Amino acid sequence: MINALIIEDEKPAAEHLQKLIDTSGYDIRILAVLDSVKAATGWLNSNPQPGLIFMDIQLSDGLSFEIFDYTRVSCPVIFTTAFEEYAIKAFKVNSIDYLLKPVSTEALSFAIEKFLKQAGSIIKPLDALFSYQVGQVMQLLAKKYKQRFVVNAGIHIRSVETQKINCFYSLEKNTYLLENNGKSYDINYTLDQLEKLTDPDIFFRINRKYLVNREAISDIISYSPIRLKIKFNHQPGDDTFVSRSRVKKFRSWLEKP
């Protein structure tokens, strides 16, 4: 039996991956599902090394590569990511596999077979080659923001491209993603986290409840220099105003090319 960890901050993606692993036919036991750099570091510092880690690249509190700065990882890692293939091609070239989300059964099986064939090799984060790989990909991702979010759509798993999201909003202590087709999905992030994960040239936090995509804004009504009402496509709820403390920054944001 292979003892494994899942490090993934999107609950639908984690549940989907665990279900695929459970039904894959491989003898893999998931020891824990961890959702942040902090949680993963704490677990790895307090428990014996697993045999394998499935690790998302971008977590809510940073890139998962930071885990290697805080603890020793001496087992193989299969990365999962919402980034396009070119962004992590360095891993492919150097035989560290990755899966694009949402993960398919075929891709998972291929990665596990590759892991089993290389089971005698141990990934050592202090090794010069591994450190170089991590450094190269960190540079590639340094200015990258999340390109898609994985959500539950009934019994299905969907991957929603960030450019197709009108806004993120909070309602009754939950956070939702509003797609440009008018459909909303519950997501496992706070608006504070989403501000860091999305491109600030595209998304702006207009108040404590809304993070809005520039392309979704259909109208801006100015009542005074410090009173702005925003209208955007498929807007949920009542009228939405820019917080007075953020009006100046909002005006400057609108002027960006």
The SS3 of residue 109 is helix
The domain covering 161-254 belongs, at the CATH homologous superfamily level, to LytTr DNA-binding domain (2.40.50.1020)
Q: Which long-range contacts (CB under 8 A, 24 or more apart) does 171-180 make?
A: 171/209, 171/236, 171/237, 176/236, 177/149, 177/151, 178/234, 178/236, 180/216, 180/233, 180/234
- Is residue 200 over pLDDT 90? yes
| Architecture of the domain delimited by 2-141 | 3-Layer(aba) Sandwich (3.40)
The model's confidence at residue 212, banded by pLDDT at 50, 70 and 90, is very high
Ranking 29-43, 56-70, 178-192, 193-207 by mean pLDDT, the lowest is 56-70
* C-alpha neighbours within 13 Å on the C-beta side of residue 169: 19
Place of tokens 């989403």: 194
Give me the DSSP letters along 172-241. Answer: TTEEEEEETTS-EEEES--HHHHHHHS-TTTEEE-SSSEEEEGGGEEEEEEEETTEEEEEETT--SS-EE
Question: Worst-scoring range by mean pLDDT, 89-103, 149-163, 241-255?
Answer: 89-103
pLDDT of 207 over the 50 cut: yes
The average pLDDT across 12-31 equals 93
Nearest to 161 by CA among 84, 57, 91: 84
Considering the entire predicted model, what is its pTM?
0.70
Residue 241 has pLDDT above 50, yes or no: yes
Q: Is the pLDDT of residue 17 over 80?
A: yes
Rounded Cα–Cα distance for residues 212 and 13 (Å)? 24
Statement: residue 238 has pLDDT above 90: no
Consecutive H or E run containing 15: helix 11-22
Residues in the chain: 257
- The pLDDT of residue 7 is 95
170-185 confidence digits (pLDDT tens): 988 899 999 999 999 9
Question: Domains of the chain: which residue ranges?
Answer: 2-141, 161-254
pLDDT category at 122 given cuts 50, 70, 90 is very low
E strands, 23-75, where?
28-34, 52-56, 58-59, 62-63
Q: In what order do the strands lie in the sheet with 227-232?
A: 217-224, 227-232, 240-241
